[in-house]
Amino acid sequence: MVTELRIGIIGLGARSAIAENLAKTGIGAHLVGGADPDPQMRARAARAFGEHLAWVEDTDQLLAAGIDAAIVTSPDDTHEAITCALLEAGAAVYLEKPIAITIEGADRVLETAYRTGTPLYVGHNMRHMAVVRTLRDVIRQGTIGEVKAIWCRHFVGNGGDYYFKDWHADRSRTTGLLLQKAAHDIDVMNWLSDSVPARVVAMGDLMVYGSLTDRAPRPGQLMQDWFSFDNWPPESLTGLNPTIDVEDMSMLLMRQASGVMVSYEQCHFTPDYWRNYTVIGTRGRAENFGDGQGGVVRVWTHRRGYDAKGDIEIPIRGDARGHDDADIATMAEFLRFVLNGEPTDTTPLGAREAVAAGVLATRSLRNHNTPYDVPRVRPELAAYFEDNQRRAARLRGA
């Protein structure tokens, strides 16, 4: 029986910092090292986590170090191959979203986890954000009746720095930001509606960053090296990725399998950075103002004219620094799942459904706004993940 997990991290870029959360969970796990083909990234990780740990070039070398599980934070286009290799080797996986950048890739990851019985967890951390859980509580308590519509406006005020100065701006690495970025919100709206996308259609364009000509590769740099609120207005940005062929404005419509109607708007050149969800039911609606500490969820349950306050106001507790608190909760959930087989709020199947909708929405906006039906996985696969992978071999020996 394993009581202290040996964890490796693959991909030592910006998101590798979530490995710091292992110690913050208070659950038996420790970092033994990480892998990245870039020596500059390995050097940065050694400075951040400790020179004494094993910093190697590839997945095979990290597996040879004797890991029980791995955190995968490599670029999106590598998720599928790396995760499948880890699962085949029997190493449990915490995979950063998205699960893959194609539907076929996502399905391959699920099939590999199913066949090998190796535990798979996808870090859709927003299911652990206080704003999302507050909205879900309002829904589950029946306060607004039966959910019929969910709208999300995503103001990505940091979009230029976050997504247009490195590989995120290259569709060959991400498919597009209606997958890479929106997978978070599609997953949230699936969870809030307790359903999955059945049909999608989208519209979008590269409206600002495509015309900017100051481009430069950034070897050895990470987002925190160039990020600044002073990088404003958007057309003044410099040092953008040499390839920019993803949209910076996207709008998505979805009909869920349950009949719930969903809309999502994403803009990467707003001055502010936050998400606004509106959930409309048969007996009221709920909406968040701010999405972290200091924000509120307001609920309207009576007919009237304009009323900014609503009938109920619920403070949002936690997440003062974006999704840091949610990242810790997500890591803790992963460790409890691997060690004890405990049920999880995030699901690999849900991660796949978000990717499927994002892929087809991106195809729609690039193909004359053609609507597409979202395919489902085979029933046996769905049942396996809906049952919390109970056939999976637990490292605790259960």
Quickly list DSSP for 253-306. Answer: EEEETTS-EEEEEEESS-SSEEEEEEEEETTEEEEEESSSTT-EEEEE-S--S-
SS3 of 336-397: the string is: HHHHHCCCCCCCHHHHHHHHHHHHHHHHHHCCCCCCEECCCCCHHHHHHHHCCCCCCCCCCC
> For residue 76, is it within any domain?
yes
Domain membership of residue 356 (yes or no) is no
Mean pLDDT throughout 140-149? 99
Nearest to residue 83, comparing CAs of 53, 54, 116? 116
Query: Which residues, other chains included, contact 20 with Cβ-Cβ below 8 Å and sequence gap of 6+?
Result: 49
Mean pLDDT of the chain: 96
pLDDT digits (tens, 9 = 90+) for 33-82: 999 999 999 999 999 999 999 999 999 999 999 999 999 999 999 999 99
26 with 102, same domain: the answer is: yes
Neighbouring CB atoms inside 10 A of 386's CB total 11
Q: Is residue 229 part of a domain?
A: yes
- What residues contact residue 252 under an 8 Å CB cut-off, 6+ apart? 178, 182, 186, 200, 201, 202, 262, 263, 264, 265, 266, 357, 361
Whether residue 281 sits in one domain with residue 161: yes
Q: How far is 104 from 241, CA to CA, in rounded Å?
A: 27
> Same domain, yes or no, for 335 and 298?
no
Q: Are residues 159 and 298 in the same domain?
A: yes
Supply the angle between the helices 348-365 and 182-193 in degrees, to the nearest 10: 120
- Whether residues 60 and 77 fall in one domain: yes
For residue 76, the model assigns a pLDDT of 98
Do 141 and 112 lie in one domain? The reply is no
In angstroms, the Cα distances linking 7 to 91, 93, 119, 149, 335 are 9, 10, 14, 41, 10
What confidence tens digit (pLDDT) does each residue in 252-266 have? 999 999 999 999 999
Written as one letter, the residue type at 206 is L
Helices assigned H by DSSP within the chain: 21-25, 39-49, 59-64, 79-88, 103-116, 130-140, 159-163, 171-174, 177-180, 182-193, 223-226, 324-340, 348-365, 379-386
Whether residue 398 is predicted with pLDDT greater than 50 in this model: the reply is no
The answer to whether position 28 is within a domain reads yes
Q: Is residue 370 part of a domain?
A: no
CATH number at residue 275: 3.30.360.10
Mean pLDDT value across residues 191-204: 99
Is residue 279 within 8 A of residue 273, CB to CB? The reply is: no
CATH code, 69:
3.40.50.720
pLDDT in tens, 90-138: 999 999 999 999 999 999 999 999 999 999 999 999 999 999 999 999 9
**For residues 349 and 335, what is the distance between their CA atoms, to the nearest angstrom?**
19
Dihedral sign computed on CA atoms, order 134, 136, 141, 144: positive
Domain count, the chain: 2
Nearest to 180 by CA among 77, 67, 98: 98
- Judge whether 244 lies within some domain: yes
Same domain, 58 and 207: no
For residue 78, give the H/E element and its range: none
Q: Is the pTM of this model over 0.75?
A: yes
Please tell me whether residues 24 and 94 are part of one structural domain: yes
Q: Are 179 and 102 in contact (CB under 8 A)?
A: no
Using DSSP's 3-state secondary structure scheme, residue 156 falls into strand
> Which amino acid, one-letter code, is at 372?
Y
Same domain, 197 and 89: no
**Gap between the Cα atoms of 345 and 191, Å rounded:** 9
C-beta separation of 157 from 276 below 8 A: no
Residues 273 and 299 in one domain: yes
Q: Which domain holds residue 166?
A: 127-322
Measured CA to CA, the distance from residue 177 to residue 174 in angstroms comes to 7
pLDDT in tens, 313-340: 999 997 766 678 999 999 999 999 999 9
The whole-number pLDDT of residue 324 equals 85
Same domain as 53, residue 41: yes
Residue 348 lies in a domain: no
Q: What phi and psi values does residue 152 have, to the nearest 5 degrees?
A: -135, 125
Does 81 share its domain with 167?
Answer: no
Q: What does the alpha-carbon distance between residue 167 and residue 143 come to, in Å, rounded to a whole number?
A: 43
Average pLDDT over residues 153-167: 98
Asked if the structure places residue 147 within a domain, the reply is yes
Alpha-carbon gap, residue 46 to 278, rounded angstroms: 43
Answer for the pair 258, 193: CB distance below 8 angstroms, yes or no.
Answer: yes
pLDDT at 294: 94
Strand partners, 7: 31, 69
Q: How confident is the model at residue 396 (pLDDT cuts 50, 70, 90)?
A: very low
User: For residue 12, which of 42, 53, 49 has the smallest C-alpha distance?
Assistant: 42
State the Cα–Cα distance between residues 70 and 91, nearest whole angstrom: 7
Q: Which helix (H) or strand (E) holds 89?
A: none
